[in-house]
Structure 1
Amino acid sequence: MGRAGMTMSKILSDKTYDVVVVGGGIVGLASAYAAVKKGLSVAVVERQSQNKDASVRNFGFVTVSGQRRGKHWQRAMHSRNVWAEIAPKAGIQVEHIGLHMLMQRPEAVDVAQAFLKTEMGEGCRLLTQSEINEAAPYLNKGEGVLYSPHELRIESNTAIAKLTHWLQETQSVDFYNHTTVTSVELPKVHTSRGVLNAEHCVVCPGADFTSLYPNVFAKTKAKMCTLNMMRVMPKKTFKLNAAVMSDLSFARYDGFAQLPEATVLKSLLDDIQSAERQAGVHLIVVQSEDGSLIIGDSHDYSDRDYRLETLELMI
């Protein structure tokens, strides 16, 4: 029987941990890894057999360029470096590296040039036409391409399981799946299967803002965000050498959009692509090992529990 099986059969109160993490999504797993690196004993409590929520449904796109300037960007770069370190150890394949941002309009070129003058532009550059023809011939119709070397693309629907397995087998993290935390009264962590003992508890509940500490989440004014994306198989297979974004991304991501030079581009797109802007639609394209492309996405902050067909048509 594997370690996961042994963990499931244990009496929960038979061991005291330094840290109990609530939630086995990427934030929970990252918290577990950070605690392990400090030499702490860790348990992760996950209500499902394994996390099946946003952590496994997104692009699997570890992105840096475009993240908000300052601490947000620095955190993104640190996270990227952690992924680059852990991925080979956990058997997580990196499908492609880097980002190509197609500049469709002169106004986007102005934003890219301003970005390159900031600390966020370190390592990034504008590609020459010959470089575009060689590395991204599918992007040769436009004003140019901004290249960022930082981004990583992994398969999110398999990466979480592999990362969980790696933490179990090599980092001595205990996982209690099919288990719901009902309350936290340290040193007691009460669950649907009994009690765990811990000095610290890190709550990473994903989209569940009501089960634990609802008042805390209410004060943060956290909102649900639903994304639409699609997977397509090109009629003619080709290799995507890096993730792809375009002008709408320059206008959406704060690392670009908050630059003074982005004002003109945002105003232009508000005029000619108002529906996309209002729906939070911008272009991201990444590729999987089988050659299929994941294309998106939109951002819906309403409480509706259904998808709008108009959003899918925009994408």
Structure 2
Amino acid sequence: MERWCAQASVCGVRILIIGGGVLGTQHAWQAVERGHDVVQIEREPEARGASVRNFGLVWVGGRASGPELETAARARVLWERIGERVEGIGFRPNGSLTVVRTEAELAVARAAADTGEDRGFKLLDAAETRALNPALRGEFLGALWCDRDAAVEPRVAQPALRAELAKSGRYTWVPGREIRDLTDRGVVDDTGETHEGDVVVLCTGAWTGGLVKELAGTTPVRRVRLQMAQTEPLGETLTTTVADADSFRYYPAYRGEALDGLNAGQPQGEVAAAAKMQLLMVQRLDGSLTIGDTHEYDEPFSFDTTEAPYDHLAEVAGALLGRPLPRITRRWAGVYAQTTDTSRIVHRARVADNAWLVTGPGGRGMTCSPAIAEDTAEELSW
């Protein structure tokens, strides 16, 4: 390690990034920005995992105080800078509204807004909420506004970033290759080709078998499955991301007496509780809506998607919009990796003299990946 770290501080080295998702691509971005040559290798023809099966949210407000919030806030700044250079990622600082419909929900929103922490929170009444997002015509008491939250387009962000990286002349994209072996010179793929590099960074997401398991053994990472959907175009602009108050139950920023009161006095309905649900709703650039999501933690996971959660999402979204949700045109499930060490944002560990494993950001992957990659670059002295 000392050899290539010393090299990295003086001159460019050749870095192999294994994994074509957002975390791997942000590591490639950091390496190229710091003057290194990068080869990024992906086992699929294109990233198909959690990096594209998500909302594309840069979600700052709900993060836990301390390192998690600091990482998300730093990543938000990095996303905006990248968006200024790479228009194709679709970055937009649209903020979010967590809409509340009962007094118990309002109490949680008020407590969050009154903490004094610098999260960009502001409590809005119903009229202020509708003024900020006129597409919300349902019945509600108000909303918790977060001006720090933003969005990108998850299905196109990685290709757009790669296209920009290619302009450097120091970046190579190698899809459709699965890494089978690690050597002191680099890696060997499933065609027998050797890719030489000074350091290997494994950003393989929820893929924890094969070579990753051989190198890392059992890691403090669990897998989480979710269901989501996309609708036809709404026909008008949804000016902010929208969440329902069930999101209070799943984000650590809202923990406290008010949330305890909500959980005790207003438990989730049967479907939402069984699927560990919240409503998140974000508009894509084509006008469609991405909605979700559910959380399944116990493996083996279901191999099919179930309709009850979609019915629930449509009902809640329709109530906030004050009209039926547009017809769902796509449904999918996804699996992401989440570190079980709650003191860490991501599992980052050296697994060989020349290789590191970086995985397990959980549902923070799209939000935090630029800052996670920056931290890796600093830790490895790129």
Segment drifting more, 239-248 vs 123-132: 123-132
Return the alpha-carbon distance in structure 2 between the equivalents of residues 65 and 122 of structure 1.
Answer: 5
Q: Are residue 85 (structure 1) and residue 84 (structure 2) matched?
A: no
> Match of 1:174, as an amino acid?
T
1:217 is displaced (CA, Å) by 6.0
Return the alpha-carbon distance in structure 1 between the equivalents of residues 247 and 63 of structure 2.
Answer: 11
Q: Are residue 52 (structure 1) and residue 51 (structure 2) matched?
A: no
1:25 is displaced (CA, Å) by 0.3
- Contact residue 105 and residue 247 of structure 1 kept, 8 A: no
Q: Are residue 24 (structure 1) and residue 9 (structure 2) matched?
A: no
Return the alpha-carbon distance in structure 2 between the equivalents of residues 273 and 121 of structure 1.
Answer: 32
Secondary structure (helix, strand or coil) at the match of 2:201 reads strand
Return the alpha-carbon distance in structure 1 between the equivalents of residues 307 and 225 of structure 2.
Answer: 14
How many percent identity over aligned positions?
A: 24
- Contact residue 93 and residue 151 of structure 2 kept, 8 A: yes
Return the alpha-carbon distance in structure 1 between the equivalents of residues 217 and 115 of structure 2.
Answer: 34
Q: Which aligned pairs between 1:35-50 and structure 2 lie closer than 5 A?
A: 35-50=31-46
1:81-125 alpha-carbon deviations (Å, 9 max, x no partner): 111111231122235610011012222222222222446443221
Give the aligned partner of residue 115 of structure 1.
112
Give the one of 82, 97, 101 matched to 2:98. Answer: 101
Give the aligned partner of residue 11 of structure 1.
none
- Contact residue 126 and residue 141 of structure 2 kept, 8 A: no
Higher helix share: 1
- Contact residue 209 and residue 217 of structure 1 kept, 8 A: no
- Contact residue 17 and residue 197 of structure 1 kept, 8 A: no
Return the alpha-carbon distance in structure 2 between the equivalents of residues 121 and 229 of structure 1.
Answer: 31
Consecutive aligned runs of 4 or more in structure 1 exceeding 6 Å deviation: none
- Contact residue 225 and residue 300 of structure 1 kept, 8 A: yes
Q: Are residue 266 (structure 1) and residue 263 (structure 2) matched?
A: yes
1:62 is displaced (CA, Å) by 1.4
- Contact residue 61 and residue 120 of structure 2 kept, 8 A: no
What is the aligned length? 296
Secondary structure (helix, strand or coil) at the match of 2:259 reads helix
Secondary structure (helix, strand or coil) at the match of 1:165 reads helix
Give the aligned partner of residue 219 of structure 1.
219
- Contact residue 17 and residue 43 of structure 1 kept, 8 A: no
Give the aligned partner of residue 66 of structure 1.
62
Secondary structure (helix, strand or coil) at the match of 1:161 reads helix
- Contact residue 282 and residue 297 of structure 1 kept, 8 A: yes
1:68 is displaced (CA, Å) by 2.1
Return the alpha-carbon distance in structure 1 between the equivalents of residues 310 and 92 of structure 2.
Answer: 25
1:228 is displaced (CA, Å) by 1.4
Return the alpha-carbon distance in structure 2 between the equivalents of residues 18 and 119 of structure 1.
Answer: 45
Give the one of 109, 123, 126 matched to 2:123. Answer: 126
- Contact residue 65 and residue 120 of structure 1 kept, 8 A: no
Distance 1:305 1:218, change over 3 A: farther
> Match of 1:179, as an amino acid?
R
Q: Which aligned pairs between 1:266-305 and structure 2 lie closer than 5 A?
A: 266-270=263-267, 272-301=268-297, 302=299, 303-305=301-303
Give the aligned partner of residue 207 of structure 2.
208
Q: Are residue 233 (structure 1) and residue 232 (structure 2) matched?
A: yes
> Match of 1:39, as an amino acid?
G
Distance 1:202 1:110, change over 3 A: same
1:305 is displaced (CA, Å) by 1.7
- Contact residue 108 and residue 247 of structure 1 kept, 8 A: yes
Q: Which aligned pairs between 1:184-199 and structure 2 lie closer than 5 A?
A: 184-193=182-191, 194-199=193-198
Return the alpha-carbon distance in structure 2 between the equivalents of residues 307 and 113 of structure 1.
Answer: 36
Distance 1:204 1:308, change over 3 A: same
1:282 is displaced (CA, Å) by 0.5
> Match of 2:260, as an amino acid?
T
1:71 is displaced (CA, Å) by 0.8
TM-score when normalising by structure 2: 0.71
1:179-234 alpha-carbon deviations (Å, 9 max, x no partner): 211122333212224112222111011221102231636331x2322221222236
Segment drifting more, 126-135 vs 199-208: 126-135
Return the alpha-carbon distance in structure 2 between the equivalents of residues 188 and 230 of structure 1.
Answer: 39
Please tell me the root mean square deviation across aligned C-alpha atoms, in Å: 2.3
- Contact residue 109 and residue 143 of structure 2 kept, 8 A: no
Q: Which aligned pairs between 1:110-189 and structure 2 lie closer than 5 A?
A: 110-118=107-115, 120-137=117-134, 138=136, 141-170=139-168, 172-189=170-187
1:66 is displaced (CA, Å) by 0.7
Distance 1:120 1:64, change over 3 A: farther
- Contact residue 98 and residue 152 of structure 1 kept, 8 A: yes
Distance 1:97 1:122, change over 3 A: same
Distance 1:166 1:186, change over 3 A: same
Give the aligned partner of residue 13 of structure 1.
none
Distance 1:185 1:284, change over 3 A: same
Return the alpha-carbon distance in structure 2 between the equivalents of residues 177 and 144 of structure 1.
Answer: 47
